[in-house]
Amino acid sequence: TICPTVREACGLPFSSRNRRLSAPQRHLAAQFAQIFQQSLPIDAIKHQLEDLNIKIDYLVDKASRRFVAVWIDEVRLIDNRLL
């Protein structure tokens, strides 16, 4: 069953992991969410995230969806979206 991702106002998916983010990390996570939702090629997204010193675990397109996992310090965030 496919259902929409519930998101915070900043675009970050709701997750219990978000509680582990400090205020500066939360700001960075919001930037990650905004960048990830853009309709850009993967290389452009990677470049923008790397410029923010966000460590990318994976960023792939598969079966009409884009999947991502990143590290903001010790907190791993995941997301996906329809292409």
Which tens digits make up the pLDDT trace of 8-55? 999 999 999 999 999 999 999 999 999 999 999 999 999 999 999 999
Q: What is the model's pLDDT at position 2?
A: 79
Q: Which CATH number fits domain 16-82: 3.30.1300.10, 3.30.70.930, 3.40.50.2300, 3.40.720.10?
A: 3.30.1300.10
pTM for the whole thing? 0.93
In the structure, what pLDDT confidence band is assigned to residue 1 with cuts at 50, 70 and 90?
Answer: confident
Question: Are 34 and 11 a contacting pair, CB within 8 Å?
Answer: yes
- 3-class SS of residue 5: coil
